[in-house]
Amino acid sequence: MDKEIADKPVVQHLVCEDGYPIAATLYRASVPRGTIIIAPALAATQSFYADFADFLTSQGFDCLTFDYRGSGRSLSKSETYDIRLEDWGKQDIEAVIRFATQRCRNVSENHPIYLIGHSIGGQLVGLARSSRDLSRIVHVAVSAPYWRRWPFPLNARMLAVSRILLPLFSAFRDRFPSRQLGLGGMDIPASAVKQWARWMRCRDYMFDPRFGLDLSGYKALEQPLLSMSFSDDDMAPYTNIEHILTNFPNARVTRRHVDVSTLQPGAVGHAGFFKPRFEKSIWRETLAWLTATDTNIQDQPEMQGNE
């Protein structure tokens, strides 16, 4: 890894528009040519993305990681435990984008801001009002997880997860035991998990009208969007990947479905993209897409990995 990091990461204490405090970490490059925000997956700590953030700063980008409200370093002392998933998008992701924008005004008017959303981080991005100001967006394993779109027998397993496991282990408690169940690196608000289970039981997921979310921001996203998916990701089958992209109707989408048999080492799954072993392959290919000119962006059904 090329070492061009100027300083050690710095914790930033941000305040959302509704007054909720969240914790972010700023990784600073010596001469930044842009800022990249990493919006985390459900129950993924911001420290999980530290190696990838270090790589991005070594390539000349400032990077921001953060924890959603009610989780990790963003646990408020006045926690009410009535945390809603949409606030992770319209409040938390929004606060990080606004912080990046304000900071970049001191650097250059042409300083681009990108967002890489992992799983639910990419699902929620359109709820953030300022997401339309992002230069480009990357989805990593981002899908609309409706149980019927999994092949058998995984569909039966996901039905059980959404109708039994998630409701059962989030009932009558404030915290969902993600770590104990092997579903993440930290426990998260049970109220958020209950809501996630309801979304998963609907064909259109969070985009179903019954949930009453303001989805107008998704139509406003017209920038290039790279959707990264992986052939061994049982959590995000390609049918669910395709379904969520229909809710980004005006984005200029590039699809890259990675055949993991071409990667050395191969396994990626739902979270392996962020492991350092992929620095020379899919990390660099993703960064090349972020920095490419619009005329060089094209739809690629299969992305080959090179070690």
Spatial separation of the C-alpha atoms in residues 219 and 248, rounded to whole Å: 6
Nearest of 265, 284, 280, 268 to residue 230 by alpha carbon? 268
Own/partner contacts of 199-205, CB < 8 Å, gap of 24 or more, are: 199/85, 200/145, 200/146, 200/147, 200/158, 200/161, 200/162, 200/166, 201/146, 201/147, 201/162, 201/163, 202/146, 203/146, 203/148, 204/144, 204/146, 205/123, 205/144, 205/145, 205/146, 205/243, 205/244
Cα distance between residue 107 and residue 60, in whole Å: 14
Q: Over the stretch 114-139, which tens digit does the pLDDT of each residue have? A: 999 999 999 999 999 999 999 999 99
Q: What is the mean pLDDT of residues 236-253?
A: 97
What's the pLDDT score for residue 262? 86
pLDDT for 307 beyond 70: no
300, pLDDT greater than 50:
no
Give CA–CA dist 187/293, Å, rounded: 40
Average pLDDT over residues 198-214: 97
More confident residue, 104 or 53: 53
Q: Average model confidence (pLDDT) for the chain?
A: 90
**Measured between alpha carbons, how far is 1 from 185 in angstroms, rounded to an integer?**
26
Q: Are strands 21-27 and 10-15 parallel, antiparallel or unpaired?
A: antiparallel
- Per-residue pLDDT at 264 exceeds 70: yes
Number of other residues whose CB lies within 10 A of the CB of residue 60? 17
Contact yes or no for 200/145 (Cβ under 8 A)? yes
Question: Strand 252-258 and strand 300-303: pairing?
Answer: parallel
pLDDT of residue 306: 33
What pLDDT shows up at residue 243?
97
pLDDT for 45 equals 94
| pLDDT at position 105 | 74
**What does the pLDDT average to over 65-69?**
97
Tens-digit pLDDT profile for residues 156-179 = 999 999 999 999 999 988 898 888
Q: Is pLDDT at 301 greater than 60 in this prediction?
A: no
Whether residue 106 contacts residue 32, with contact meaning beta carbons closer than 8 Å, is answered with no
In this structure, what DSSP letter does residue 108 have? -
| DSSP letter string, 18-32 | TS-EEEEEEE-BSS-
Question: 197 φ, ψ to 5°?
Answer: -60, -40
CATH 3.40.50.1820 fits 10-145+213-299, yes or no: yes
